Structures are given as C-alpha cells and as structure tokens.
Amino acid sequence: MRRAPPARPAPRQGGPATSTYLDTVSTEALHPAARETLLSALDRGWADPLRLHGAGREARLLLDNAREVVAALLGSRPDEVSFTSSGTAAVHLGVLGLLLGRRRVSPRLVHTAVEHSAVLSAGAWWARHFSGTADGVPVDAQGHVRLDALDDALAQGAGVAAVQVANPEVGTLQPWPEVARTAARHDVPVFADACAAAGRVDLPDGWAAAAASAHKWGGPAGVGVLLVRKGARWRAPFPTDDRTDARVAGFENVPAALAAAAALQAVVAERTVVAARQHALVDRLRAALHAVQDVDVVGDPAARLPHVLTFSCLYVDGESLVTELDRRGFAVASGSACTASSLEPSHVLAAMGALTHGNVRVSLTRDTTEADVDRLVATLPDVLAQLRP
C-alpha cells in the first residue's frame, strides 16, 4: 500500500494582515451551534435514511427533524422543504420547476433587473433549452423593483415572476406585500430568492417557491434549501431518483442538513439583538462615509438587511480597494455579489444607475464591534489617497 504524502499546511486566508472579516454576504463563519450539532450528527446520521435498519431509521429521524425545524423557522410546512447541494441549486430548481409547471400558460420569466446571477442563468438556460424568454424589470435608484413596470410586464403575460426578498449586494428589501398583490392580480406565481435574507428577516408571504442558502446564516457550506408551496404548479426540471424527497436527486447529507437547521434556529433566536446592533453599526458607518470625499453610499437607508452596506468610490477600481484594505486588515468584497471573484462590473449597481467601479460591500458578522467600524472609517481615506491618481 502506498503511503499518503505528508499533509501540507493549509494556506492562510486573506493574507497575514487580515483580522476583521466583513464579507458575510459571501459566507458566514460556522455558527457554534452548527459546529456542535455537525460533530454529533456525524456519528449518528451517517447511514442511508431510506434503510429500515436502526442506523437508517436514526438518520431518517434526524433528516425529518432538520426539515421540521427549517420549515417552522421559514414559515412553511415540512413537506414543502427540500435540501439541495447549494443555494444556487435551490434557485435553479425553484425557478425552472415553476416555469416548467406553467409552460402551457406562458414560457416567459419576468424578473427584476437586480436578481442574483443564479436567477439570470436559470432564465438563460430556460430560453436556450425550452425556447422561453426572460425579461428584466427596472428598479429605482435604491434598488426597489418599480411596481408599475412589474405590473405592466405581468399584464403582458408571464409564466413566473422572480423577485428577491433582499438584494445581497446593497441590502435593499423589496416591497414584497405589493409585489405579491401585483402578481396575484395577474395570477402569476412568484419565485422568491431568500438566500441573503433567510435568518436575517422573516420571509414574506405570497411566494410559490423560494430558495435559501445555509452558509449565509452560519450553517455549513453545501446546503441549500428549496421551498415549494403545496399546490404550486411545480415540476422537476432535472432527473430525480427514488430518494426520500421527490424534488431533488442524490444521497442526502443528513449531518450537514441538521447542522444547517441548528444554525438557523440559533440565528433566529438571537436575531432581534444582533440585528439591532448591526443596524446601529451600519448607520454609524453610513454617516461616517458621507464625510469621505467622492464616496457614494448606495441602497435603501432604512428598508434593508441589517448587516449590509455598499459604497462606491470615484477614481479608483474595486480590485485595488479590496487588495489594499485586505493588506490593512479588512476582508471586504467588490464587484457584483454574485460574480465578485471575477470582479466584473456589477449589474445590480448598473440597474440602479450607480457607479459600477470602485465599489465596496461591507457585511458585518454578529461579532463586529464599533471599534471595527471606526477603524475601517479611519483607514479608508488613507487608502483612497494612496490609490487615486
């Protein structure tokens, strides 16, 4: 038998200077409740939950428990909850499943211009493989969908409308009660991308399918949540199998699903206190940034996620800002929230009419302090002076 090569030390994340992590929209650190549950579930939930022996029955019990917890916290029924391999997979299944179920009514997807790239790619795939169409609806300068434009678009006929709960890049909450009423008036089901919002705010009413992502609330990566309302005209867009859930395929990751449920439960339990603190810190950051020359803060100042703030800086590019702030101890993001690794210009900011270059997104952890915010504000002018021509 060959001997395994010696383990190499793991690379340091973000460089040696990084000490303040401010990119939780990308991923939140594993919540202590998730870590504890995951370690316990690895010993108890490893078996196939379809099997009738004791180990299989225990795994099935844990999987059902995870489904019940998530359902209760996200305002759905246990039989409406499916665990997927990621939030993106849940988005694709939600959008395409509703479109397929409504194909005879209309092959047209209507979505806001600021939807996550997962929704946009699902629309492009639908157009390519099913000869459907996907049309964007404009937003205002703060990122809210224009309800008059949505009404006009749905009046022209649509199979599905896709409207996110909150924008992951600028934090703006969509006017969901009005969105739901508009869609109901035209008898069009709505898909809700709740990946950025789940656990942070209550999910609204009025959706036919929704998606969430566990690693954004402190659960383990690789766990998405698909919600499909009972009675919704949804059909599986991809092949499935004979697993416990007819909406998805593959062996369920029972320990990860249970850890995701534990993290969500903990986050919701502490949400009131954490959200109030984060709102105050973002307000503090927003006020301080208004005093920095040639910096424009974007997004709704009030109707927003509690932990997200995006600002754009004139005469400097986002890649340089991210790199220099990282060198000085701050892990932040730039570019579109869904394509930040490529640092492409943000389609979200473009749709809002905002500056698409030189943008920085800050998203706080539950442990971010006033001192962290004040240090960032004190550091930014020096960074801008160094980078600007």
Q: Which residues are catalytic?
A: 338
Bridge partner residues of 100 (DSSP): none
5 in the Ramachandran plot: left (φ > 0), alpha (ψ -120 to 50) or beta?
beta
Give the length of the chain: 389
Burial pattern 103-139, b for ≥16 Cβ within 10 A else e, equals bebbbbbbbbbbbbbbbbbbbebbeeeeebebebbbb
Closest alpha carbon to 332 in 20, 15, 28: 20
Q: What is the DSSP string of 99-132?
A: HHHTTTT--EEEEETT--HHHHHHHHHHHHHH--
Cα distances (Å, whole numbers) of residue 320 to 326, 342, 343: 10, 13, 11
The burial of 290, by beta-carbon neighbours within 10 Å (0-12 exposed, 13-18 middle, 19 or more buried), is given as exposed
Closest alpha carbon to 146 in 163, 121, 166: 163
Distance CA 332, CA 324 (A): 10
Query: Is the CA virtual torsion 68, 70, 76, 78 positive or negative?
Result: negative
